[in-house]
Amino acid sequence: MKKYILFIVSLLVISPNIQAASKSEKKEYAERVKNAFVKGWNAYKNYAWRMDAVNPISQKSHNWYEESLLMTPVDAFSTMCLMGLEKEKKEAKELIFSKLDFDKDMYIQQFEIAIRLMGGLLSAYQLDGDSRFLQLAQDLGNRMLPVFETPTGIPYRLVNLRTGDIKSNITNPCEVGSMLLEYGMLSKLTGNPIYYEKCKKGVVETFKRRGTTGLLGSLINCDTGEWLDTSTHISGGIDAFYEYLLKGYILFGDEDLKKMWETAYNGVNKYLEDNRSDGYWIGYADMNDGKRTKTWFGALDCFWNGCLILEGDNERAEKLQESIFKMWTMYGLEPETIDYSNMNVVNPMYMIRPEAIESTYYVWKATENDKYYQMGKTMFESIEKYCQVDNGYVQIKDVRTMEKWDTLESFFFAETMKYCYLFFAPDKVFSFDKYVLNTEAHPFKNVWDKNWKGGRYKMTRP
């Protein structure tokens, strides 16, 4: 009894210190993440100002297309808002409002521009309040709408921003549906339903053509609606189609999306998950017979854990998180793709992608288990260690050698740094009760429904 009382007393004495230590640690790490973000931003400012993206080592820059669309500043802005970086916000805003112009005679990839630019502008409007962000988003939305004018309603991949001409009629589910959140937000915030309606039609038409597994293939012809590749998986090319069914339901309350999500979720659990003695993974199969075709898993696939958590499936998410962390720690940074049957590297690069960190963040928030907070810390530390150069951050060509790759994607600012920051940020900065994160981690808020119950679908805590 005496021992027990001593134990309780010691806990009472120790726990305020633990509390205080973790508070000061969080403060310190929050500052470190902000500094990392600013270091990357300074590289953009010094070597790539007015361009799309920076190459920090060679001190050069590049654009995605013939002319710049200010990819980095637009993608970075919502993170600046969450981090409270007033100086950087001012710099980005001045640049965006003086230089961003979508009246350009060039073809752009509609889906990438929607998630990064339209998503970034809509979120900037909600976080900052300046209506010029919304005007820019609407101008962009109007210029991209012609992609939906196809025989099936399944959008083409490319659109000319000035002429509205469209091309590239072979597409994948991701480029069909992974802008439903952005077009939906544009409809809600402008009061014009056309954006959501057009985009949803493409989603429904594609989903109607799903295989007997309930899942989608990898390549589809927009004119005929025929599949050209029936390989199904949750990786790049399909991934955010499913993510947006669930998040679209959470944000807009559209029951059609919920039904489609549930079909896809059941299909993944039945045909793609691989519950092995050496770990839980999600692989590839054929969309019609459900037969396993590949035992590959990669950096992009980690997004699935956010969906599992929002679905309330903590059990699967925690199992997948173990595998994700195993993949991350094999070399110190995750490879782009591995074969989980033998843990061989299929694609060795690390593009400074966010999905593994995003997954860890969702699992940590849902379970409140400190081990996931520790994983988040490890992931940030490895980016600091391997991706940092004197004047910024870069990607990695091969995680086995850590050879650097002199380029920095805009999602470093939009996502990778944002998820790192959220582990350490004060609670008031972000909450799933307030926001749904688009696939580029831009926070979207439901401001049209007073009864909205928050960003959670079922997210459960133990």
Residues that bind ligand DMJ (CB under 6 A): 115, 240, 300, 353-355, 411, 415, 439-440
**Is 432 in contact with 284 (CB distance < 8 Å)?**
no
Least distance to ligand DMJ from the beta carbon of 357, Å? 11
Q: How far, rounded to the nearest angstrom, does the alpha carbon of residue 429 sit from its chain's CA centroid? A: 18
The nearer residue to ligand DMJ, 161 or 414, going by C-beta atoms, is 414
- DSSP code of residue 408: B
Least distance to ligand DMJ from the beta carbon of 439, Å? 4
The nearer residue to ligand DMJ, 152 or 436, going by C-beta atoms, is 436
Least distance to ligand DMJ from the beta carbon of 216, Å? 16
Residue 190 structure tokens: 């402008």
The nearer residue to ligand DMJ, 373 or 412, going by C-beta atoms, is 412
Least distance to ligand DMJ from the beta carbon of 352, Å? 8
Least distance to ligand DMJ from the beta carbon of 411, Å? 4
322: exposed, middle or buried (C-beta count within 10 Å: 0-12, 13-18, 19+)? middle
- DSSP code of residue 455: S
- Among residues 37, 42, 140, the alpha carbon closest in space to that of 80 is found at 37
- Torsion angle defined by CA atoms of residues 14, 17, 18 and 23, in that order, rounded to the nearest 10 degrees: 160
The nearer residue to ligand DMJ, 137 or 174, going by C-beta atoms, is 174
Least distance to ligand DMJ from the beta carbon of 157, Å? 15
The nearer residue to ligand DMJ, 210 or 353, going by C-beta atoms, is 353
The nearer residue to ligand DMJ, 88 or 112, going by C-beta atoms, is 112
The nearer residue to ligand DMJ, 152 or 171, going by C-beta atoms, is 171
Least distance to ligand DMJ from the beta carbon of 173, Å? 12
* Spatial separation of the C-alpha atoms in residues 453 and 113, rounded to whole Å: 30
**Is 104 in contact with 126 (CB distance < 8 Å)?**
no
| Helix locations, 209-273, DSSP H | 239-252, 255-267
- DSSP code of residue 350: B
**Is 385 in contact with 437 (CB distance < 8 Å)?**
no
Q: Where are the beta strands (DSSP E) in 85-178?
A: 107-109, 158-160, 166-167, 170-171
